[in-house]
Amino acid sequence: MTVVVLVTVVILLCLVFTYTNGFQDGSSVAASALASRAMSPLQAILLVSAFEMMGAFLGGSAVSTTIRGITSWPDRVDLLPVLASGLIAAIAWNFITRFLKLPSSSTHALVGGIVGSLYAAGGTRYIVWGSPADLVHPTGIWKVVLTLFVSPLAGVVAGFVVLCVLRFLLLSATMKVNRPLKTLQWMATGMLAFGHGANDPQKSMAIIMLSLHAAGWHASADIPPYVRLAAGLAMACGVASLAPQIVRRVGGGIYKMRVLHGLSAELASAAVVLTGSLTGGPVSASQVVSSSVMGVGSAHRIKGVHWVVAKEMFLAWFLTLPCSALFAWMLHLCAFQWLDQCLHQGVLP
């Protein structure tokens, strides 16, 4: 009976985390289109939610494999409290950063929370670090960290290059070109939402699969359709409750977005996020979108970029991993240690 309760709690926490991921990163995905007035909030919610669902179903399982690869914990029920404490820490951080109106990285929060709880439960024994020397086929925590820190840089470069190319192609264009550009923004936003749906929900799917394996309820590595459906719906619900403060911070706080800027940022972000999804790199959409906006702003007028706002975002990103890890570590030691002991001693049924 205890195992049923623990698995249920972990799955529910995964869905809550995915919901918070939706209003965090989903707000960033829709920010450029909303800031440049290419679509209304309702249109953005419907478009992004639909493509997020499609990405969750059709996006493969490469990112899920990467997240599951950060731990070597055996398939035992004592993994369940570890997953629960990591998820609670990640959820708490997402709500804190929403309250502070900062586009934090849900991926950083989840990885930090899981690593912190793993360390609290077993030290470094069950954490797969990977080799920093392996840049071609990275594994474990090293692959996650490498992806999370390389992808924002790729976003800046991609945003800069895309705007330069589009400005060259539209050198002799008039203001009438704005209408077809807004139409293209629908396509670009859909691509970005699909890439995000193929990336972020898989992180929750990975934790759900770890819990099912720990309980002995699912032996295959394949993600069942009902897990994809649950994660996709939770993400769509999170997108539906967009955080207006985060939309304003990403869409206008970094750089005053116009139609061409919005299209450039969306194309650049979509390219980076889709690449991450295909290669199994767990990228942070909020990081990629924000850094793409910085790249676009730098290409147009570098003095127009609000670097103070960018500095605040970078600070939030860098604090997320250690803060969520520390919170999960403390939470597991204080609240879940007794449950671990009971499970080991067979006290609970």
Euclidean distance between CA atoms 281 and 258, whole angstroms: 30
pLDDT in the model for residue 90: 93
Question: If we measure between CA atoms, which residue out of 319, 342, 303, 329 comes closest to residue 108?
Answer: 319
Residue 335: C-alpha distances to residues 115, 147, 272, 327 (Å): 17, 32, 39, 12
- The answer to whether residues 283 and 72 touch, using CB atoms and an 8 Å cutoff, is no
Domain ranges (residues) in the chain: 2-343
Residue type, 273: V
Euclidean distance between CA atoms 227 and 223, whole angstroms: 7
**Ranges of the chain whose pLDDT falls below 70:** 1, 102-103, 243-246, 248-249, 251-252, 309, 313, 336-349
Residue 20: C-alpha distances to residues 14, 60, 97, 104, 307 (Å): 10, 22, 10, 11, 27
Block residue for tokens 């991921």: 21
pLDDT in the model for residue 26: 79
pLDDT in the model for residue 253: 73
Look at the alpha carbons of 82, 85, 89, 90 in this order and tell me if their dihedral is positive or negative: positive
φ and ψ of 346, to 5 deg? 70, 25
